[in-house]
Each structure stands twice: as structure tokens, then as C-alpha cells.
Structure 1
Amino acid sequence: MVGYFEGIDSERGIEWRCADSLSLREFLQLDIEEAVPDHSSLSHIRSRLSLELHQDVFVWVLGVLAEAGLVRGDRIGVDASTMEANAAMKTIVRKGTGEGYRQMLHGLAKDSGMETPTNEDLSRMDRKRKGKKLSNKDWESSSDPDAKIARMKDGRTRLAYKPEHAVDLDSGAVVAAEIHPADEGDTNTLGKTLKAAGANLSRVGMGHVRTIRPSLSRTRDITPERCSRSWTAARGSRGSPSRNARD
């Protein structure tokens, strides 16, 4: 939570920030002279936390927001992005054979007459090679098979995932945070994210939200005022159903 709210993505940075901030020490219930957890301990402990535990903590926080009246569940905004995976492109191998990308280039170089190509030769040949295409159907990462080859927003090709968030547009509270394969389109992932949002809302006592259906609102940013894709929850026992919702 400290890393998320402080915008810090490294254990070393979290350790330093907690040691430096009096407000964070109070939040963590640490005395002024008490040592903060070592960054290696943070990394080791985090690796032990299961996905189910993360989900339970997420729902607990959502429940706190619901008790404070900060979650309505009437209008849900969904936004997706592309997140680079913790795996390099050089780890990709052919499915079935296990042949690495560099091995493939060596084979192509020898076929073209290069007996002992250098890394520079291989890189130059790869840049000039016509019809070059990396397909998730043929290639996968040897270190992270779930990561998919995708084009990032800056034009680079990387192994990536597709995070998708569902947000209560009336308060800005995140009601679902899902990770999907980077090669899946919105039509395949939106239903899963909306289903997760409905399940999370039900777990915190928002049982009046029966279904979540798409509306026609489309804007740019995922904020209570603006969202990439806006969706409306059909209300059951409380209030009347939305005009855009269908049973």
C-alpha cells in the first residue's frame, strides 16, 4: 500500500521512504528509533503472498469504502492499458521445439552464407529481414509463458500483460483490478472485468447491483468525470433500473 500510494515501485525505495517519513512511521506503528523492514525482507515476504490473499485485501479495502458510503455501484468505468512483463524478448522460444530466437537467427545467417556471424551481424540481419513477424501462436517466453508479445504505446514490441480496472464513476473507487493476456481485445476482456466488479461489489454487501451492462458513454480518462469506456449497473432493490440496462 505504501508503494502504491507513494508511487514507489522498488523495495529499496519503499524502505527509504518509510524510514524518512514520520507520517508513514505513524501509519506503520513504528517508533521514531525503530528500524523499518529491510528491502530484502519486503521482497521475500511479498513473494510468499498468494493471489487469493491480495484479492482478500482488495475486497477488505473496498468494504471499508462501502461502509463509508464511497461506493455506489451505479456507474462503472472500465479502462485498459498495456503493462510490460518482467521478462525480456530474448527469452522467447518456439512452441513445441524450444528453439530460441537467437538460435533461429543463427540458422538464417548460416543459410545466407555467414559461417560465424557476430551479434552485430545477427542484429543487422534481423533489422533488415523482410516479413519479420512474431506471433503468440508460434512463440512464448521461457521464463514467463503467460506473458504475450505486444506492441507498447511507444511503438516497442515487448512481452506484456493487459491490466484492466473497473472504477465507480461516482466516487473514483476501484472496484476491480484484473490482469488479462496482452493479445486479448476489449470485447474478450471487458465481460470478465465487469463480472469481477460485480462479484467484488456483492462481497461488500452491494447486493443490489444485479448486472452490469454497457452504456454508450465514451471519453478519454478514467476519472469520475471522464472514462475510456463507461458502463451502467442495473439496480435491483434500491432505485429504478438504468435506461441503458437490460435484464
Structure 2
Amino acid sequence: MSMSKRRLEQQEHFWIPTAEIVRSPGHPFYERLNRLLDQQGFDRFVEERCASFYAEKLGRPSIPPGVYFRMLLIGYFEGIDSERGIAWRCADSLGLRAFLGYAVNQKTPDHSSLSVIRGRIDIETHQEVFQWVLKVLAKSNLLKGKTLGVDATTLEANAALRSIVRRDTDQPYEEFLHDLAKASGIESPTREDLAKIDRKRPKKGSNQDWYNPNDPDARITKMKDGRTHLAHKAEHAVDLETGAIVAVTLQGADQGDTTTVQETLDQTEANLAEVRDDPQASKHLSSAKVREVVADKGYHSNDTMCHLREERKIRSYVSEPNYRGGRHWKGKASEQAAVYGNRRRIRGRRGKALLRKRGELVERPFAHCYETGGLRRTHLKGHGRILKRLLIHVAGCNLALLMRTLFGLGTPRGLQGLARRVFHSLWAWTADFWGFCKELPGVSQKLGVPTATSPVA
């Protein structure tokens, strides 16, 4: 057999027979996901919800809404953060083309088309798609709605700190440092001088004095790794019985947990109310409303405990921070009762179990959505645009939970190393079996397995 060489230049074919067109066998994961969406009527649902954003008869044919939402789901399953990357991946993969319903000779949507459609469809419609996924989870007995775990994380904004300006005068930050340098006696400061002044000045940039004109919703905050950056805050409410994400909200990164939890609980109640309106989905819910909320000590305050106990009628399991010097309850009978009741519950057996489960089921979606899901840093600007992408991204995480329950695989990469995992499982089972046989003298003699009491020749 002679060796062939790769051609650097080749003549493209003008006509290609249909039989010679490359066809994709399809990806097993996306085929099953598409089958699941078709069985539940996903395309019909989104087309009905998006019909008001398009002309009835006249106009250029648009990209189907089902394709738009599928491409955002691909962003989660493939771990792609930007819409440009999603569009490139869909154009490059034959399996994803089949998932979207595009033939080889058809052009997949461009990233600019995704931006146009995202701007046309409102946030409420994206929220309805998220609620539709919750109904599908409830029909599969993966949503209970009784016990919730709440936690938040920061998303790095697509904005630079060096671009911030003062709120009162719109003076850029670098110009502000130049004024400080001149006030200290440096007439022509270098970049090293400016960096030194920035490090030594006692009061750093605050959100009350500074903002970024490119993304006014971004806030100056300290990230998980210790860096100071412009960021947003995403907060999840997770069903602690199944691991499903019941609600997600996007808020300012400078707001405390005790402030943002109210909006998250309101959105949770709204989502569960939509699920209860579906007769087939509501019968699987274990409670008519949220009964318990589990959170870390960042959510603990007198007002939060009273609000959960008196207004929402919810039992709280919130870790209590260490208060030095004791606490004074004079004239605060309701606050004392709420705090003491929460303290009594978290010290009980159920409270300790729920706090351990919170650390597992609430932190896991953060890793799936923002680390392997690729959305730790946002490429969009403004809470409205980011929330649209975030809702469908988190809906993809819920669909992954459903796929993992039904088919054993939650991501397209779940097939990688499957044979190795099966081999190790069989090996571990065999080792446990022989270890069990060694403890049974009668069985071990029949099988020829040496035991500790058997004589050695």
C-alpha cells in the first residue's frame, strides 16, 4: 500500500451526489434528549409562547424558537460561555446539526442571530420555558417543593475595573489617580507611581462612588479566589429532596444574602404555583407550599428569621454565626422566639442532616452550571440579558438531572470512560464477593479459597 500525502490545495466539487453527502450517526445523548423534548411537546410550547414577538404572515422567515432555546441548552451541555462559541460549535458538529434539525447543506444560525432573538423575546418567556422544565421534572417525580436549600455565588462581569467612573462627576478612575498623585507632589506620575498610590490609599473604590458605564448593573466585589472584580450575584433555590433547581435570580453583587433571599423565595413560590396549575405535575408535589428553608450563616439575621416564621410560615434551618458578648432581647420577643426556634432546629438530628444535605445538593449545581457549564464569567452585559441566558442555562442543568435519572447519563461526555467505570465496578464487586466467601469456611472450602483457619501445607 502506497502512502498518501495531504493535499494543501484541492479543487472543490461543484455538484455532489446525494449518496456521497456525509451523514452523522447522531450523538446518543442528544438523540435521547431530542426524543424527550419531542414527547413533551417542547417546540409546540415555545412556538405558542413566542408567537406574539413575530409577524403573523408577512416578513422574512425567522429561526424557530425551539432552535434558539436548544442552542442555549448546548451552551450548558458543552460548557461554552459565549454565544459566538455556541454558534461555531453547532456549525462544526454534525451531531449538533442533527439535534437542531439542520441538514448538511443548511446553514446553522449565526451568533448575531442569537443576539437578535434574545433581544426580541422577553424575560417572562424565558421564565416560562424554565417553568416548563420544572413541570417535566415534576411529572417524573423529581420535584417535591417542600424543603429548599438557598445559596448564592458570584459571576464575573464582562467589564474592567480600570473603566469605572465616579457617579457624581463621571471622572475616570485613572484620572482620579493622577489628581491624587499631583496632590502628593508628583507632577508627571508613571504607571508604577499610580499603582503605588492605588495600593496605599486607605479607601478603595466603593459602589456608592463608582460604577462602570459599559455595564451599570455590575458591582465591585471580592470574588471567591480573593480577587476584586466587577461581578453579578446568582442565587439558587434547590429542592433538597431531589436536587432540582426550583428558582434562580440575578441580583447586584453588593447586596447581602439576607436581602436577596426574599426575591428568590418569591420567585420560587411563583414557579411552584405554575407547576401546581398542571394537574399531572401537581400530584407529585409533596406539599402545597414551601415548608422548610435551609441556608448557611450568611442568611442569618433577626429580620430574616422573623420574616420566615411569621409572614411566610416557613421553618428555618439557618446556620447561626458566633455572636461575641451575648445577645440582648429586651423588647424583641418575636425576634427571640424566631432565633431560638431556629437554633433548636439546627441542633436536632433533622437539622444536622439537612445542613449536610445542603452542602451537597446546593453546591453541586454551582459546579455544574458555572464551572463545567462554563458560565462563571458572563459575556453579556446588563441583568436583563444575563438573566435570559442564565434561566435556560439552569434549565439545562435540570434537564441533565432528568436525563441522568432516565438514562444514566446527564451530559454528552458521560459516555467517556464508561467501559473503564464498568470494569472497575465489576472488579470491586468481585473483590467484595471473594472477601465475603473468605468469612464463610464451608463455602470457602468448596470454592478452594484459603481462609485464616485453614491449615497451610
Flag whether TM exceeds 0.5 (same fold): yes
Select 2:162's aligned residue among 90, 99, 106: 90
Q: Tell me if 1:133 matches 2:271.
A: no
What's the TM-score once normalised by structure 2's chain length? 0.46
Partner residue, 1:236: none
Number of residue pairs matched by the alignment: 227
State how far apart, in whole Å, the 2-side matches of 1:78 and 1:224 are.
7
Tell me the secondary structure at the aligned position of residue 59 of structure 1: helix
Of 127, 133, 137, 1:55 maps to: 127
Alignment of 1:176-187 (within 5 A): 176-187=247-258
Q: Any unmatched runs of 5+ in structure 1?
A: 229-247
Give 1:169's aligned residue: 240
Which whole-Å CA distance do the structure 2 matches of 1:59 and 1:2 have between them?
Answer: 19
Q: Which moved more, 1:118-127 or 1:56-65?
A: 118-127
Q: Deviations over 1:90-137 (max 9, x none)?
A: 22222222222112101111111222223332123222x231322222
1:225 CA drift (Å): 9.9
Q: C-alpha distance in 1, partners of 2:139/2:193? A: 63
Residue 174 of structure 1: how far off its partner (Å): 1.3
The question of 1:201 aligning with 2:283 is answered: no
Partners of 1:190 and 1:119 in 2: CA distance: 42
Whether the 8 Å contact between 2:147 and 2:290 is mirrored in structure 1 is: no
Matches within 5 A, 1:95-244: 95-127=167-199, 129-205=200-276, 206=282, 208-212=287-291, 213=314, 214-215=316-317, 216=346, 217-219=354-356, 221-223=359-361
Q: Is the 8 A contact 2:149 2:238 kept in 1?
A: yes
Partner of residue 96 from structure 2, selected from 24, 42, 45: 24
For residues 140-165 of structure 1, the C-alpha deviation after alignment (integer angstroms, 9 at most, x for no partner) is 22222222110011111111111011
| More helix, by proportion | 2
Match of 1:235 in 2: none
Q: Supply the AA of the counterpart residue of 1:140.
A: Y
Q: How many Å apart are 1:81 and its aligned residue?
A: 0.6
Q: How far apart are residue 68 of structure 1 and its match?
A: 2.7
Question: Any idea what SS the aligned residue of 1:166 has?
Answer: strand
Give how far 1:218 is off.
2.4
Please name the residue that 2:343 is paired with: none
Unaligned runs of 5+ residues in structure 2 are 1-72, 277-281, 292-313, 318-345, 347-353, 367-457
Deviations 1:54-84 (A, max 9, x none): 2122112212222332211122122211111
RMSD: 2.5
Letter in 2 for 1:173: A
1:90 corresponds to which letter in structure 2? R
139-148 vs 196-205, which deviates more? 139-148
Q: Does 1:14 align with 2:14?
A: no
Cα distance in 2, alignment partners of residues 20 and 130 from structure 1: 51
Q: Distance in 1 between matches of 2:177 and 2:237?
A: 42
Query: What is the TM-score with the length of structure 1 in the denominator?
Result: 0.81
Q: Post-superposition, which runs of at least 4 consecutive aligned residues in structure 1 deviate over 6 A?
A: 224-228
Q: Is the 8 A contact 1:71 1:173 kept in 2?
A: yes
Cα distance, 1:160–1:10 mapped onto 2, change above 3 Å: same
Q: Distance in 2 between matches of 1:204 and 1:105?
A: 54
% same residue: 53
Aligned mates of 1:66, 1:23 — CA distance in 2: 29
Q: Deviations over 1:13-65 (max 9, x none)?
A: 21233234444333212224432212332233334433222212211221222
Counterpart CA distance in 2 for 1:69 and 1:130 is: 57
Note closer, same or farther for the CA distance 1:226–1:20 as it changes in structure 2 (3 Å cut). closer
Determine if contact 2:146/2:289 at 8 Å carries over to the other structure.
no
Residues 167 and 210 of structure 2 are in contact (CA less than 8 Å); yes or no, is this contact kept in structure 1? Answer: yes
Give SS of 2:231's match: strand
